[in-house]
Amino acid sequence: MGTVMFFHLIQSAPADTLAINAPRALGQGWRVMVRGTDPAALDLLDQALWLKGGDDSFLPHGLEGGPQDADQPVLLGLGAPVNGAKVLALVDGAEATDAEIAALERVWVLFDGNDDARLQAARGQWKAMTAAGHAAQYWSEESGRWEKKAESAAR
């Protein structure tokens, strides 16, 4: 059963956090699916990820709908992780099912802490996921660096 990690973005954008976390996941041998709710927002995220890190930290990724979806180390899309992902990153209010969470190593919920609607939605996701017995961690960058602020063990 995977761990759900909530990332309360205050100073960073989703692309910044993904540019740090996705290479770590890839280093573990895990592929990543980034699930959003809006194709236009995923296009912008795709463009931003190409600009992160320069030549030293290229993040191989692609947008869902291409012929190599199953081969992508990091796939951005609206649907299921067809690339064999062990990590599901949720952006723009996307959600995961209990079955998906149980089958994955990690689920990352990235939410804009400056958007009250996204903040409230993330709180609802935390309550639902912990009530369902999933292990969860809450991370905030309020101090200027990432700090774990809360943790709930799996039941």
Q: What is the structure's pLDDT at 2?
A: 85
Share of the chain above pLDDT 90, in %: 88
pLDDT band at 53 (very low <50, low <70, confident <90, very high): low
Nearest to residue 87, comparing CAs of 110, 70, 103, 105?
Answer: 105
Q: What is the structure's pLDDT at 51?
A: 82
CB neighbours of 3 closer than 8 A, spacing ≥ 6? Answer: 105, 106, 107, 134, 135, 136, 137, 154
pLDDT at residue 155 greater than cutoff 90: no
Q: What is the structure's pLDDT at 143?
A: 87
Q: How many domains does the chain have?
A: 1
Q: What is the structure's pLDDT at 55?
A: 56
**Segment 48-53 mean pLDDT:** 81
Over residues 81-97, the pLDDT tens digits come to 999 999 999 999 999 99
Q: What is the CATH number of the domain that holds 41?
A: 3.40.50.10110
**Segment 7-25 mean pLDDT:** 94
**Segment 125-131 mean pLDDT:** 95
Q: What is the structure's pLDDT at 38?
A: 96
Tokens of 3: 């761990």
Q: Is the pTM of this model over 0.85?
A: yes
- 88 lies in which domain range? 3-152
**Residue 96: count of CB within 10 angstroms of its CB:** 24
Nearest to residue 82, comparing CAs of 94, 68, 92, 95?
Answer: 68
Q: What is the structure's pLDDT at 29?
A: 96
Q: What does the mean pLDDT of the chain come to? A: 93
